[in-house]
Amino acid sequence: RGGLVFRNIYGEDFRKLPKQDKEQRRIFVEQSYVLTRPIFYSTFNKNILPNYNLLYAGAIYAVDTPFLPQWFKKNSLFKEIYSFRSIYQKYFDYRSNALVPVYYFMEATNEIDNYKKFLLLKYSYFLWPEVDWLINNIKFELHNLGYKMFNENKYEFCIDIYKFLLTIDKTDINALLNLGVAYEKINNFDLAESCYTEVLKIDKNNPTAYYNLGVLYWHKNDWDKVIHYFNQVLKLQPDNQVVKNYIYRAMMEKNKTK
């Protein structure tokens, strides 16, 4: 943010550059600084400096280079003291209250243990439900965590994550859809169906909800409902050849039962 009080390290013409050129200049300058001194970032973007690893340090990140003091790398007490400084204070102005959660959120996003990460994110939400930036970032982190747990076949944990997302925002369509799929994985088809029908109450033209309902009834061999829901998908996506093929197969299965 140089140029207001301090000389702009990115050059006097920096503010006039197009966005892409600014980013290239920023990276070039910061990579040159890394070669001569310790560099720290206050950011949520762990990939802010390409080809360099960032070390978590409370509410900031340090670029891992030979110029970073060894005591900093080894001293875990530093980040523990720094990250919890004034965290439980309440302020009267929104700006101060909005800054305090940075400490806890950074702690959560850098937690390796997935269950502890989940608890830290939940705790952050209950402490500061009025802070907009925090809630949006918590939702983002929880969706990523839910996706990761789903891919690891940890469906019960996945369900807990998506249910909590829905306590934050009951109209979160992605959370409802993913919760439904997780319920399907543990063979709780009734709860899965309730998730998909809830999506359609929010968005009656959601093709994924109709598709998932079609798949759900395929498992139950209820071919009339399969055909009905897949036809709803076709109304919204007329060129969906996969669904057309499924409708044909469902009609063949239905004819077998006659």
- Tens digit of pLDDT for each residue in 125-170? 988 888 888 899 999 999 999 999 999 999 999 999 999 999 999 9
> What CATH code is carried by the domain that includes residue 237?
1.25.40.10
Which residues, in sequence order, are CB contacts of 158 under 8 Å at separation 6+? 146, 149, 150, 178, 182
Could you tell me if residue 253 is inside a domain?
yes
Q: How many domains does the chain have?
A: 1
Could you tell me if residue 183 is inside a domain?
yes
- Tens digits of pLDDT across the chain (258 residues): 444 556 788 988 898 999 999 999 999 999 998 888 888 888 878 889 999 988 877 677 888 888 777 766 655 545 555 545 555 556 566 666 666 677 778 888 888 899 999 999 998 898 888 888 889 999 999 999 999 999 999 999 999 999 999 999 999 999 999 999 999 999 999 999 999 999 999 999 999 999 999 999 999 999 999 999 999 999 999 999 999 999 999 999 888 876
Tokens of 193: 């169906």
Please give the Cα distance from 97 to 105 (Å, whole number).
13
Could you tell me if residue 240 is inside a domain?
yes
Could you tell me if residue 68 is inside a domain?
no
Sheet with 40-41, strands from edge to edge, namely 40-41, 60-63, 54-57
Could you tell me if residue 207 is inside a domain?
yes
Could you tell me if residue 213 is inside a domain?
yes
Write b or e for each residue in 165-189: b if 16 or more Cβ atoms lie within 10 A of its Cβ, otherwise e.
Answer: bbebeeebbebbbbbbbbbbeeeee
Range of the domain at 247: 170-258
72 closest CA partner among 105, 31, 117, 39 = 39
